[in-house]
Amino acid sequence: MVDIAENGRTWLLSGPSSSYALHLTDADELLHLHWGPRIALADAEALAGSPLPGYWPFESPLDGREEYPVEGGPRFVRPALSVRTDERRGTEWRFTAYETEGDELRLRFADDGLAITLHYRMRGDVVERWVSLDNGGPARVELLRADAATWTLPEREGWRLSQLHGRWAAESRLTTAPLTYGEKVIGSRRGHTGHQHLPWVALDTDATEERGEVYGCALGWSGSWRIAVAQLPDARVQVTGGAGHDDSGLLLLEPGASYTSPVFAGLWSDGGFGGASRTWHAYQRAHVVPDADRDRPVLFNSWEATFFDISEEQQAALARRAAGIGVELFVVDDGWFGARTSDRAGLGDWTPNPDRFPHGLKPLADQVHGLGMQFGIWVEPEMVNPDSDLYRAHPDWVQYQPGRTRTELRNQLVLNLAREDVQEYLWERLDTLLSGAPIDYVKWDFNRCFTDAGWPGEPYPQRLWVDHVRALYALLDRLRAAHPGVAFESCSGGGGRIDLGVLSRTDQVWTSDNTDPLDRLAIQHGFTQIHPARVMAAWVTDSPNTQLNGRASSLRFRFVSAMAGVLGVGGDLTEWTEEELAEARRWVELYKEIRPVVQQGDLYRLRPPSGGLSAVQYVRGDETVVLACLQAQSHGEPVPAVRLRGLDPTASYECRETGEVHRGAVLLHHGLRTGLRGDLDATVIHLRRI
């Protein structure tokens, strides 16, 4: 909902429990007024009436108060917009108009031929912001920086910044620290979202998991990006973010060309970090993730079971075992195509390997379907191995700088997806693949960063950074439209490409290559700060853990840890005993029973994973599920009871497993004993209101 003051210069956007307001001064300065609890238009107008502070030569009255600080004039903060032409640098805009369309508010500005539009849209309590630029003038405009939005927080003391940092196999780890004066900059210079930071920040002063004000901002972009959080003088904080990783240039706007930034979404919550994440989850399920109301199936993935050593018969044997334990989707990972018998060859040649799949993928897909499962495959379309037919035919299709080394990482190079011939090749190959065999699922991987990202002959700033992501999105959109029954997974060596942009085109993401069930608890704790369980893939793999750390854990612990998201199995089932398979079947059955609650419910992080007992709870209608994990019990101390959330204190709840009846008020205020003991113990508690 958008309310507009009579003079057409103050705007108020409101969601169910929050509001966002801005104001345009007579000098066309666009000022931020309010972001927080719901207010009335009259409140926004009252705020608009407060004069800007006096102007001193060493401070700017605009700094920390503007909605979208441009470069130029009396401003010393990091500009959201920085442009230059052959003649000059910076922006001096005039307001031209505002308009609303549905729930979107557009504010239009112009600086000579450059039209700048700021877009706002409220989705529940999430504010979506983005900017579009149109070069209607006769000169080229160099876009050095065009952030999607700048967020302004209210004056408070003692801001803290939370972020999700990591690396390969250790993504999404939550860290919180006081914000000090100056700037904290996070981002990716790698061409993809990156394992190092999820494009999300949260700011609070004294919030806890379930109480207090939290501001959150998340960027929907799957290429290089940057978010800068600035603690300015006078207790003012601004967060600015967008595509591109530094100021050397984003894009060249030729006359007639335009640029639309990704969406930078933001929310305010007074329900602590838990409340903020539930708002993020509801937003993504309602507005971002495709078909989010459809539960994701239990999948089997062959990677850790067979790595590159695969064949039709061996995959069929795994499929039979997977079907036996109740798996619903069987995914053949890397190694089925071209000369791909190791990571040294084959990427780019998207036809089944004739020795391994002599009659193509269809016979295996048919067998998998015959077993009652869906069939999926792994691809990594944006890459090529130098040892491939594709590279031998088109060595100029990769990103490279003339006369420089073509850096290989994992023996592969990055295709220049900004090229139309590359886009067409990939479309043709993937469309043929999806048309040639009954494929229901595509795991789309991306296993190296950009390094020598050049495009000989193209002027600077080169568009390949931005256009790579646009081409990826367009390819996914086109494939989804042509093959509406096919679901997609975003993977990048685990969690290297997880953001709101890719999530608007994929059905789930591969959270991490780290499948150790204990490490996963911390990764999942961070991941769910922003993204819902409905997209968080988690596999049960072999014990001891083969991929990472050799840690041994029970099947029970591995399943309970993986049941916190979209359950998958990734172990070598041909090596599992009959007892293990029977136990796995029981866990998969239980998961299917609780799946709607886990994937669609409200998530409460009851206790963080910090050495002892951790627990997450999901609430949906009359049902609630608790997944509790005990890392280690020390000194024989009693394991604490877990206090539940989101229940009706006046109701009673029956445990599905034991038939025990618990009173809501008792569960909320005194908690539930989990019965866990020792090391790496875990349990599932499923309660239904009676």
Smallest gap from Cβ 558 to ligand DGJ, in A, equals 17
DSSP lists the bridge partners of residue 66 as 31
Smallest gap from Cβ 290 to ligand DGJ, in A, equals 22
- Whether 447 has a binding-site annotation, put simply, is yes
Catalytic-labelled residue, pool 147, 467, 499, 513: 513
Q: How far apart are CA 382 and CA 473, in angstroms?
A: 12
- Residue 513 is among the residues annotated as catalytic for this protein: yes
Q: How far apart are CA 146 and CA 325, in angstroms?
A: 51
- Asked if residue 262 has a cis previous peptide bond (ω within 30° of 0), the answer is no
CB 33 within 8 A of CB 45: no
> Does 623 engage in binding with ligand DGJ (CB under 6 A)?
no
Whichever of 152 and 545 has its CB closer to ligand DGJ, that residue is 545
Q: How far apart are CA 628 and CA 640, in angstroms?
A: 11
Whichever of 491 and 630 has its CB closer to ligand DGJ, that residue is 491
Q: Identify the residue among 220, 381, 494, 571 touching ligand DGJ (CB under 6 A).
A: 494
The stretch near ligand DGJ (CB under 6 A) out of 125-133, 477-485, 486-494, 613-621 is 486-494
The CB-nearest residue to ligand DGJ is 334
Smallest gap from Cβ 319 to ligand DGJ, in A, equals 17
* DSSP sequence for 88-143: -BS---EEEEEEEETTEEEEEEEETTEEEEEEEEEETTEEEEEEEEEE-SSS-EEE
> Does 447 engage in binding with ligand DGJ (CB under 6 A)?
yes
- Whether 93 has a binding-site annotation, put simply, is no
Smallest gap from Cβ 334 to ligand DGJ, in A, equals 4
Phi, psi of 165 (to 5 degrees): -110, 170
Count of residues engaged in binding ligand DGJ, rule: CB under 6 A: 11
| String of contacts with ligand DGJ for each residue 322-361, x by CB under 6 A | -----------xx---------------------------
Q: How far apart are CA 258 and CA 116, in angstroms?
A: 10
Burial 27-60 (b: 16+ CB within 10 A, else e): eebbbbbbbbeebebebbbebbeeeeeeeeeebb
Q: How many CB atoms lie within 10 A of CB 435?
A: 11
The stretch near ligand DGJ (CB under 6 A) out of 111-119, 256-264, 362-370, 488-496 is 488-496
Q: Classify 435 as helix, strand or coil.
A: helix
Q: How far apart are CA 419 and CA 423, in angstroms?
A: 6
Phi, psi of 207 (to 5 degrees): -75, 155
Smallest gap from Cβ 12 to ligand DGJ, in A, equals 45
Checking DSSP bridges between strand 299-301 and strand 566-569, what pairing results, if any?
parallel
* DSSP sequence for 448-499: S---S---TTPPSSPTHHHHHHHHHHHHHHHHHHH-TT-EEEE-BTTBSS-S
User: Starting from the edge strand earliest in sequence, which strands make up the sheet with 10-14, in order?
Assistant: 2-4, 10-14, 18-24, 30-37
- Whether 349 has a binding-site annotation, put simply, is no
- Whether 427 has a binding-site annotation, put simply, is no
Whichever of 120 and 350 has its CB closer to ligand DGJ, that residue is 350
The stretch near ligand DGJ (CB under 6 A) out of 8-16, 240-248, 457-465, 487-495 is 487-495
> Does 111 engage in binding with ligand DGJ (CB under 6 A)?
no
Picking from 301, 321, 310, 312, the residue whose alpha carbon sits closest to that of residue 575 is 321
Q: Identify the residue among 68, 151, 264, 510 touching ligand DGJ (CB under 6 A).
A: 510
> Does 39 engage in binding with ligand DGJ (CB under 6 A)?
no
The stretch near ligand DGJ (CB under 6 A) out of 229-237, 392-400, 489-497, 548-556 is 489-497
Q: Identify the residue among 159, 303, 397, 576 touching ligand DGJ (CB under 6 A).
A: 303
Q: How far apart are CA 670 and CA 682, in angstroms?
A: 20
Checking DSSP bridges between strand 613-620 and strand 602-607, what pairing results, if any?
antiparallel
Q: Identify the residue among 128, 382, 445, 516 touching ligand DGJ (CB under 6 A).
A: 445
Catalytic-labelled residue, pool 147, 445, 499, 516: 445
Q: How many CA atoms lie within 13 A of 254 on its CB side?
A: 5
- Whether 491 has a binding-site annotation, put simply, is yes
CB 332 within 8 A of CB 593: no
- Whether 168 has a binding-site annotation, put simply, is yes
Q: Identify the residue among 217, 491, 588, 628 touching ligand DGJ (CB under 6 A).
A: 491
- Whether 445 has a binding-site annotation, put simply, is yes
Whichever of 123 and 497 has its CB closer to ligand DGJ, that residue is 497
By 3-state DSSP, what share of the chain in percent is helix, strand and coil, each rounded to 5? Answer: 20, 35, 45
> Does 378 engage in binding with ligand DGJ (CB under 6 A)?
yes
> Does 513 engage in binding with ligand DGJ (CB under 6 A)?
yes
- Whether 446 has a binding-site annotation, put simply, is yes
Smallest gap from Cβ 356 to ligand DGJ, in A, equals 15
In the structure, how many helices (H) and strands (E) does the chain have? 13, 37
- Residue 396 is among the residues annotated as catalytic for this protein: no
Q: How far apart are CA 98 and CA 258, in angstroms?
A: 19
Smallest gap from Cβ 372 to ligand DGJ, in A, equals 24
Smallest gap from Cβ 321 to ligand DGJ, in A, equals 19
Smallest gap from Cβ 269 to ligand DGJ, in A, equals 32
Catalytic residues: 445, 513
Annotated binding-site residues for substrate read 168, 333-334, 410, 443-447, 491, 513
Annotated binding-site residues read 168, 333-334, 410, 443-447, 491, 513
For ligand DGJ, the binding residues (CB under 6 A) are 303, 333-334, 378, 445, 447, 491, 493-494, 510, 513
